[in-house]
Amino acid sequence: MIKYFLIFCLMIFHYFAAAQNLLDILEEEQQNSLTNKTTAIFKGSRIVNVQSIENRSKGSLELIIAHRFGQITGGTYELFGIDQANMRIALEYVPIQGLTLGFGRSSLRKTYDGFLKYRILSQQTGKTNIPFSVAVFSSINAETVKTYIAELDNKVYTKLSYSYQLLLARKFSPGFSLQITPTIVHRNYVLNVSDNHDIYALGAGSRIKVTNRMSVNLEYHYVFNPIKSYNTFNSMAIGFDIETGGHVFQLHFSNAQSMLEKGFITETTSDFTKGEIHFGFNITRTFQIKH
């Protein structure tokens, strides 16, 4: 009886061991067949100045009210730059998943801008492994401020500039994301014949998560062939993203006053290392107008 009992126990053990192995194999195959997309590489549509890889969901309409003030070195006389405020108001709409269309107007040089941003690849793991996200960005700016120079005011093409960017981003961990942004800015009109119409730059931006609702964002843009007509500096910035329900509140410190690619990449005239810093903030509200 003991012999038969031992044989029976071995058979039961073998059965459950085989079943467990089969379950492990099936679970592994199921996990490999799933695709897990990485979300929230950045919280906002911008890191600080530059566009982030992020698009909102299909049917979203985002209202952005952005302020960038004068240099804080102006002291109390300029109220630390508030007297020289630059404001931009914009609407950004997502007609299809992955595509953002935007239109805005800045008080600095009375500039209108339009852009599109389209995500080509999304970072994901599983059956298909993609180590980073890729998007393309293109914008057009039109400065409408009067120069009182007939040759400039009467010709539309002199007021136009264009920006083209490739956005390469990766979320390395829940607390750290990095984006690399090669950029070309084309200006139809230049002040001096020695200036280049095409400006080439390489930007880098990162997000460091501090709490569930707050992160620190860093940004830097290196310009390979800066404008020669006047002294410019590479754009630097530090920002803080604060989530408050349907709002994302962003605080910025940057040596660039312009919030458009043509401005902060090619025309930054303040030196961050000398304290020539502009304070600013963005208020963002998203409306889901199409389900």
What pLDDT score does 171 carry?
96
Taken as a whole, the chain contains a residue count of: 291
Those residues with Cβ within 8 angstroms of residue 86's Cβ, 6 or more apart along the chain or in another chain: 67, 68, 69, 106, 107, 108, 257, 258, 259
Q: What is the pLDDT of residue 1?
A: 55
Amino acid 186: pLDDT:
96
How many C-alpha atoms does 134 have within 13 Å on its Cβ side?
6
Looking at residue 27, what is its pLDDT? 61
Residue 204 has pLDDT above 60, yes or no: yes
Tokens of 140: 């057009």
pLDDT > 70? residue 17: no
What are the C-alpha distances in Å from 103 to residues 81, 215, 234, 249, 262? 26, 27, 26, 20, 15
Digit-coded pLDDT (tens) for 19-41: 456 556 556 655 555 778 888 89
Residue 233 main-chain phi, psi, to 5 deg: -130, 155
Cβ within 8 Å of residue 257, ≥6 positions away: 68, 69, 70, 84, 86, 108, 263, 264, 268, 270, 278
**Percentage of residues in the chain with pLDDT exceeding 90?**
59
Give dist(CA 219, CA 239) in Å, integer.
8
Whose tokens are 């940057």? That residue is: 254
pLDDT at 85: 86
Residue 88: what pLDDT?
Answer: 95
Q: Please answer whether residues 115 and 128 qualify as being in contact, where contact means their C-beta atoms are separated by less than 8 angstroms.
A: no
pLDDT of residue 212: 87
Least confident of 145-154, 202-211, 219-228, 235-244: 145-154
Band the pLDDT of 16: cuts 50, 70, 90. Answer: very low
Quote the pLDDT of residue 43: 86
Whole-number Å distance between alpha carbons of 19 and 151: 83
Q: How confident is the model at residue 289 (pLDDT cuts 50, 70, 90)?
A: confident
> Of 61-70, 147-156, 257-266, 270-279, which range is least confident?
147-156
Residue 8 has pLDDT above 60, yes or no: no
> Dihedral of the CA atoms 258, 260, 263, 269 (nearest 10)?
30
pLDDT digits (tens, 9 = 90+) for 56-96: 999 999 999 999 998 888 888 888 788 888 999 999 999 99
Tokens matching residue 119: 């995500």
Q: What is the mean pLDDT of the chain?
A: 87
pLDDT at position 10, please? Answer: 47
- pLDDT above 60 for 117: yes
pLDDT at 6: 46
Sign for the pseudo-dihedral over CA of 28, 29, 30, 31: positive
Q: Where are the beta strands (DSSP E) in 59-175?
A: 60-71, 86-93, 99-106, 111-121, 124-126, 133-143, 160-173
The yes-or-no verdict on residue 15 having pLDDT over 50 is: no
